[in-house]
């Protein structure tokens, strides 16, 4: 409802600003009280949802592994098969805070995923399993520090590396990584980047033994924040955060949908009017009896 007392200035600009940052459109119109309500309430609900969801409830696409390509979607070199996340249709309405998801989706679509390529030396914490074969039940948990170095300082798919491993019993051992060192995609919606490679070591009798190393290293926040992820990562988040991940996701949806009301208000004004109109009685209510005499 348009009320002449409500100054909308240019409604289109106001609506675009309201979409970009909750409350910005109303601030532009000089409606500072409502701008404060919208920005504080909507951004608080959104940030709260992000915190509950471990910083990961917002993503635009879900990645599916192509059959026979790789053991996981992260290690898949071909362009990933992606499906739109419907929750993002609500989240994107919150504006700029949800836009990184679009940038991350473009980065994945427009980048090669050479799973053996690294841009430069990497030194990171490592956690994973050491076994005589991938998926072998007789595997040992191992943590520690991994160092990966490209053959060329500017980046290469010929990678060498070492692992300073710490076993569950506290014992330590250094390993030289060998064979093809496969790394998960650079951009992916998980703070952990998968690593798979062979390890050459000596057994107690002094014979060479090849072992399989599978685990993960840290991924830069710039490369995982709001990036598309796979169902494995969603399973991990649900396992780690339990109901909080779902609650956090719902909060971010609510924040986006609330901003839709704010965008509408910036463009069209308040829905019911200024607020000082006399209430019109319902037709069903009996009219008051007139006093006679």
Partner 1 sequence: MQLAALYAIPLTVGISLVYSASRFELPEKILRSAVLMFAKTIAALVALYLILLYLSR
Q: Based on the shown chain and the rule CB under 8 A, indicate whether residue 183 belongs to the binding site for partner 1.
A: no
Element (H, E) at 14: helix 11-20
CA dist 28 and 107 (Å) reads: 33
Site for partner 1 in 236-265 (CB under 8 A): 243-244, 247, 251, 254, 258, 261-262, 264-265
Q: Based on the shown chain and the rule CB under 8 A, indicate whether residue 37 belongs to the binding site for partner 1.
A: yes
Q: Based on the shown chain and the rule CB under 8 A, indicate whether residue 42 belongs to the binding site for partner 1.
A: yes
CA torsion through residues 64, 66, 68, 74, sign: negative
Candidates 221, 267, 255; CA nearest to 1 is 267
Site for partner 1 in 17-36 (CB under 8 A): 31, 33-34
Beta bridge partners of 210: 200
Least Å distance between CB 100 and partner 1?
23
CA dist 11 and 28 (Å) reads: 10
Question: Could you say which of 19, 72, 273, 290 contacts partner 1 (CB under 8 A)?
Answer: 273
CA dist 79 and 276 (Å) reads: 58
Least Å distance between CB 27 and partner 1?
13
What's the burial of 119, exposed, middle or buried (CB within 10 Å: 0-12/13-18/19+)? Answer: exposed
Q: In what side-by-side order are the strands of the sheet with 81-84?
A: 81-84, 61-64, 229-230
Query: Of 194 and 265, which has the nearer Cβ to partner 1?
Result: 265
Q: Based on the shown chain and the rule CB under 8 A, indicate whether residue 47 belongs to the binding site for partner 1.
A: no
Q: Based on the shown chain and the rule CB under 8 A, indicate whether residue 171 belongs to the binding site for partner 1.
A: no
Number of residues that bind partner 1 (CB under 8 A): 30
Q: Based on the shown chain and the rule CB under 8 A, indicate whether residue 178 belongs to the binding site for partner 1.
A: no
Contact positions vs partner 1 (CB under 8 A): 3, 5-6, 31, 33-34, 37-38, 41-42, 44-45, 243-244, 247, 251, 254, 258, 261-262, 264-265, 269-276
């Amino acid at each position: 409802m348009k009320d002449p007392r409500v100054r909308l200035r240019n409604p289109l600009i106001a609506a675009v600003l309201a979409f970009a940052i909750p409350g910005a459109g109303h601030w532009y119109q000089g409606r500072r009280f409502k701008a404060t309500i919208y920005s504080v309430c909507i951004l608080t609900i959104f940030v709260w949802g992000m915190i509950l969801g471990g910083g990961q409830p917002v993503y635009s696409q879900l990645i599916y592994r192509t059959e026979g390509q790789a053991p996981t979607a992260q290690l898949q070199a071909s362009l990933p098969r992606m499906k739109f996340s419907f929750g993002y249709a609500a989240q994107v309405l919150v504006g700029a805070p949800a836009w990184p998801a679009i940038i991350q989706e473009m980065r994945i679509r427009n980048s090669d995923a050479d799973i053996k390529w690294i841009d430069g030396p990497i030194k990171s914490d490592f956690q994973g399993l050491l076994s005589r074969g991938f998926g072998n039940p007789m595997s040992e948990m191992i943590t520690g520090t991994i160092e990966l170095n490209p053959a060329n300082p500017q980046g290469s798919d010929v990678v060498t590396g070492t692992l300073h491993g710490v076993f569950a019993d506290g014992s330590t051992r250094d390993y030289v990584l060998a064979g093809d060192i496969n790394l998960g995609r650079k951009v992916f919606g998980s703070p952990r980047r998968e690593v798979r490679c062979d390890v050459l070591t000596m057994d107690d009798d002094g014979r060479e033994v090849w072992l399989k190393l599978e685990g993960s290293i840290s991924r830069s926040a710039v490369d995982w924040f709001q990036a598309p992820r796979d169902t494995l990562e969603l399973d991990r988040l649900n396992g780690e955060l339990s109901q909080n991940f779902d609650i956090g996701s719902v909060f971010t949806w609510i924040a986006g949908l609330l901003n839709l009301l704010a965008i509408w208000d910036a463009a069209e004004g308040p829905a019911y009017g200024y607020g000082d109109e006399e209430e019109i009685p319902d037709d069903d209510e009996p009219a008051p009896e007139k006093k006679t005499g």
